[in-house]
């Protein structure tokens, strides 16, 4: 085992029900080039990822430099391994120089070492100018940068997943020459996968892989001699035919296609025969078995200041070079709150209200109190065209009066949506109304009917209907009081004998004040969750996460660097929200601004934890989007933002209270409206629920990360 750089023994790997390999073995001698060949989808990348510890295996053993990989495959050799993945897996916002220095710092190289190495690799790989951004490089140029990253720290083992795809043939040849020099002079071991089979004829050994099996593992020269052919392509063809033949004649089950021909059916040279033999043995799962006595190969400490510095530097550069992203993050809370305050809670204007005034169909232009309310010498009040006076009370921004001759016409236009309602004043309103006021209970029954203004409201838009109703009542109460004043009658006569006193606010406060705490808390939660999930999913999809981990960064460091960075951005966003709400939009508040800020911030952090959990569960951006909006939208419904939770069915109320934002919204409202302090238990429980959820999301994230590996 010690003579091998890499030794894979009877490894079994499944993706769900899909078996990728069922007992594969492979040996890479130190100081040699090993070409791993096979058609697309045969499992090359999965095998390399397993060797790198990025995929868990169901059974078997993987040894690197004579040491067994940790039982959970997490001990990743970093300083000894240079890895070039198939995808570019580099940060597009970086320049070529940034890229090299980022990985150099992760490899713990000094700036001088990085500089010297960079110069050499720049010349060897004909890299574009150092200050060119990766996103401005062609695909081939990016691959060369990726190759340079793998070579940067002079690793002992190079794992290259299709490094020569899309490269100029001359450059390809130069790379192969360089690899041979590395092997001969520096005794580096190389595993290289490629689709160009003939490219591997200069490798020391090749492994021909098909359907998750190694059909042969031998030097190209021996294979060519054995099969009496000039090309490796033909060797592969022969071996593939043999495998097909074996599968057809011997085994007829689904799992069978992963079985190999027995030794006799296989090529006769020794290494291959030995391998086939070993592959027939199904090794029990390694999961949970035995303790590793030796330290896992290359396992590095979970926390290192150089790496954290490199990661923060990376996050900062990615942040400030993404101008669109910065504008969004800075402007989103401001715009959102501005939209909210200016669109919610303000009264509608210019609502078309029909007026059918049967009492005075002519103009009311010259009417005033003196012409409409007449007090005789007995101090008795008489009304003449009093409806003209009432019309004046309808001069309000909410109401646009539209005159109509008949009730039928007005009704027709309500039905057609041209009016939100109409007011019908009977023809002898003044007389009947006068009698009602003067005689009270002694008035004729007909006076009650005719002395009544009838209002018809379209309630298809309930909110508008209710607001118009309130407005009309409010205006009529005012009108009636003024009528009594002009009649020298005490207004107490029409006052409601029921007085309400308001605390912690007014009855005429706009809806905005009720909704503001919910909007601020939910906004923080949403921003936290979407930022975190999107950034982490992007990092994983771009392969940057895996590549950084293989280079030696721990997952904890990556996660921490992102969460701390976003927590810092969240500080700014919460400051913006609070400033915007209370100082620019002038929403009144009674409590401590710092306490409200704290509630808002912790909700944001809870959102980040939710987003982190989403990034652990979701594989794509769209899944992460669904996860975030799927959590956010129901919360806007049932967290008491739009409607008090006291109005919900008991079961829903219990669910609402358990959710992350409900209690924090209530806490924020209690501080804002009642002026309660942080130490009030009804304020603290909002923060407590959030902290609990942060813990729950963290546990869930760890579980999903382990499960998805």
Judged by the rule CB under 6 A, the positions of this chain that interact with ligand ATP are 15, 18, 20, 38, 40-46, 86
**DSSP 3-state percent helix, strand, coil across the chain (nearest 5):** 55, 15, 30
- Identify which of residues 38 and 686 has a Cβ nearer to ligand ATP in the complex: 38
Which residues contact residue 30 at a Cβ distance below 8 angstroms, ignoring those fewer than 6 apart?
A: 3, 4, 5, 65, 187, 189
Alpha-carbon distance 686 to 657, whole Å? 10
Q: How far is the CB of 182 from ligand ATP (least distance, A)?
A: 23
The DSSP result for 116-185, as a single string, is: HHHHHHHHHTTPPPTT-BGGGS-HHHHHHHHHHHHHTT--SEEEEESTTTT--HHHHHHHHHHHHHHHHH
- Identify which of residues 44 and 153 has a Cβ nearer to ligand ATP in the complex: 44
Which residues contact residue 84 at a Cβ distance below 8 angstroms, ignoring those fewer than 6 apart?
A: 146, 147, 149, 150, 158, 159, 160, 161, 163
Q: How far is the CB of 49 from ligand ATP (least distance, A)?
A: 7
- Identify which of residues 42 and 157 has a Cβ nearer to ligand ATP in the complex: 42
Kindly state the DSSP code that residue 37 receives in the 8-state scheme. Answer: E
Supply 184's token pair. 């001969």
Q: How far is the CB of 263 from ligand ATP (least distance, A)?
A: 26
Q: How far is the CB of 170 from ligand ATP (least distance, A)?
A: 24
Q: How far is the CB of 660 from ligand ATP (least distance, A)?
A: 31
- Identify which of residues 15 and 679 has a Cβ nearer to ligand ATP in the complex: 15
Q: How far is the CB of 18 from ligand ATP (least distance, A)?
A: 6
- Identify which of residues 623 and 682 has a Cβ nearer to ligand ATP in the complex: 623
- Identify which of residues 216 and 587 has a Cβ nearer to ligand ATP in the complex: 216
664 with 678: CB under 8 angstroms? no
Q: How far is the CB of 12 from ligand ATP (least distance, A)?
A: 13
Which residues contact residue 609 at a Cβ distance below 8 angstroms, ignoring those fewer than 6 apart?
A: 528, 532, 693, 694, 697, 698, 701
- Identify which of residues 48 and 526 has a Cβ nearer to ligand ATP in the complex: 48
Reduce the DSSP state of residue 371 to 3 states and report it. Answer: helix
Reduce the DSSP state of residue 205 to 3 states and report it. Answer: strand
Closest CA to 191 of 82, 55, 67, 73: 82
Cα torsion 25, 26, 29, 33 to 10°: value is 180
CA distances from 478 to 77, 383, 392, 448, 489 (A): 83, 17, 11, 20, 14
Closest CA to 597 of 526, 679, 664, 511: 664
Q: How far is the CB of 48 from ligand ATP (least distance, A)?
A: 8
Q: How far is the CB of 24 from ligand ATP (least distance, A)?
A: 12
Alpha-carbon distance 705 to 622, whole Å? 19
Q: How far is the CB of 530 from ligand ATP (least distance, A)?
A: 25
606 with 688: CB under 8 angstroms? no
- Identify which of residues 135 and 619 has a Cβ nearer to ligand ATP in the complex: 619
Dihedrals phi, psi of 161, to nearest 5 degrees: -95, 100
- Identify which of residues 62 and 523 has a Cβ nearer to ligand ATP in the complex: 62
Q: How far is the CB of 20 from ligand ATP (least distance, A)?
A: 5
- Identify which of residues 43 and 163 has a Cβ nearer to ligand ATP in the complex: 43
- Identify which of residues 174 and 709 has a Cβ nearer to ligand ATP in the complex: 709
């Amino acid at each position: 085992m010690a003579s091998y750089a890499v030794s894979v023994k009877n490894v079994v790997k499944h993706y769900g029900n899909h078996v990728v390999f069922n007992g594969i073995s492979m040996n890479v001698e130190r100081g040699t080039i090993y070409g791993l060949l096979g058609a697309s989808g045969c499992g090359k990348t999965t095998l390399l990822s397993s060797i790198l510890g990025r995929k868990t295996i169901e059974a078997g053993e993987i040894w690197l430099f004579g040491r067994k990989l940790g039982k959970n495959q997490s001990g990743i050799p970093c300083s000894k391994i240079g890895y070039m993945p198939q995808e570019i897996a580099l940060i597009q916002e970086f320049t070529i120089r940034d890229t090299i220095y980022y990985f150099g710092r992760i490899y713990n190289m000094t700036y001088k070492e990085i500089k010297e190495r960079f110069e050499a690799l720049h010349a060897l790989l004909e890299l574009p100018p150092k200050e060119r951004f990766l996103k401005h490089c062609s695909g081939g140029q990016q691959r060369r940068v990726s190759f340079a990253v793998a070579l940067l720290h002079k690793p002992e083992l190079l794992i290259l997943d299709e490094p020569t795809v899309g490269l100029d043939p001359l450059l390809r040849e130069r790379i192969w020459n360089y690899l041979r020099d590395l092997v001969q002079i520096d005794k580096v071991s190389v595993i290289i996968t490629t689709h160009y089979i003939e490219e591997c004829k200069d490798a020391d050994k090749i492994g021909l892989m098909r359907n998750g099996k190694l059909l042969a593992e031998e030097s190209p020269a021996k294979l060519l001699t054995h099969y009496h052919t000039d090309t490796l392509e033909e060797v592969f063809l022969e071996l593939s035919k043999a495998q097909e033949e074996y599968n057809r004649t011997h085994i007829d089950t689904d799992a069978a296609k992963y079985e190999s021909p027995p030794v006799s059916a296989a090529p006769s040279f020794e290494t291959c025969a030995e391998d086939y033999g070993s592959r027939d043995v199904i090794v029990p799962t390694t999961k949970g078995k035995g303790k590793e006595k030796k330290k896992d190969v290359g396992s590095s400490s979970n926390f290192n200041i150089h790496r954290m510095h490199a990661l923060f530097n990376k996050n900062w550069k990615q942040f400030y070079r993404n101008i669109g992203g910065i504008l969004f993050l800075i402007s989103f809370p401001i715009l959102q709150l501005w939209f909210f305050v200016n669109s919610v809670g303000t009264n509608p204007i210019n609502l078309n209200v029909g007026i059918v005034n049967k009492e005075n169909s002519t103009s009311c232009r010259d009417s005033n109190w003196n012409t409409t309310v007449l007090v005789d010498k007995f101090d008795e009040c008489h009304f003449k065209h009093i409806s003209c006076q009432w019309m004046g009370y309808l001069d309000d921004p909410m109401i646009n009066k539209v005159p109509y001759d008949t009730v039928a016409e007005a009704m027709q236009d309500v039905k057609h949506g041209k009016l939100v309602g109409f007011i019908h004043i009977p023809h002898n309103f003044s007389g009947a109304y006068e009698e009602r006021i003067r005689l009270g209970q002694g008035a004729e029954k007909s006076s009650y009917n005719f002395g009544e203004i009838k209002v018809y409201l379209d309630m298809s838009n309930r909110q508008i209907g209710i607001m118009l109703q309130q407005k009309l009542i409010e205006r009529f109460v005012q009108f009636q009081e003024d009528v009594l004043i002009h009649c020298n009658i005490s207004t107490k006569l029409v006052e409601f004998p029921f007085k309400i006193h308001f605390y912690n606010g007014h009855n005429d406060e706009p809806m905005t004040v009720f909704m503001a705490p919910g909007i601020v808390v939910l906004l923080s939660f949403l921003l936290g969750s979407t930022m975190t999930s999107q950034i982490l999913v992007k990092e994983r999809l771009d392969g940057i996460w895996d590549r950084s981990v293989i280079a030696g960064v721990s997952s904890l460091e990556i996660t921490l660097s992102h969460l701390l960075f976003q927590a810092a951005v969240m500080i700014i966003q919460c400051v913006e929200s609070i400033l915007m709400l209370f100082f620019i939009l002038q929403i009144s508040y009674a409590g401590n601004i710092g306490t409200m800020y704290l509630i808002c911030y912790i909700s944001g952090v809870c959102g980040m934890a939710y987003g982190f959990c989403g990034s652990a569960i979701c594989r794509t951006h769209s899944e992460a989007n669904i996860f975030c909006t799927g959590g956010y939208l129901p919360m806007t419904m049932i967290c008491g933002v739009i409607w008090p939770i006291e109005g919900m069915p008991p079961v829903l109320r219990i669910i609402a209270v358990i959710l992350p934002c409900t209690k924090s919204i209530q806490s924020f409202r209690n501080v804002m409206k009642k002026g309660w302090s942080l130490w009030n238990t009804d304020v603290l429980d909002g923060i407590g629920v959030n902290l609990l959820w942060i813990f729950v999301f963290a546990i869930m994230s760890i579980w999903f990360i382990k499960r998805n590996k």
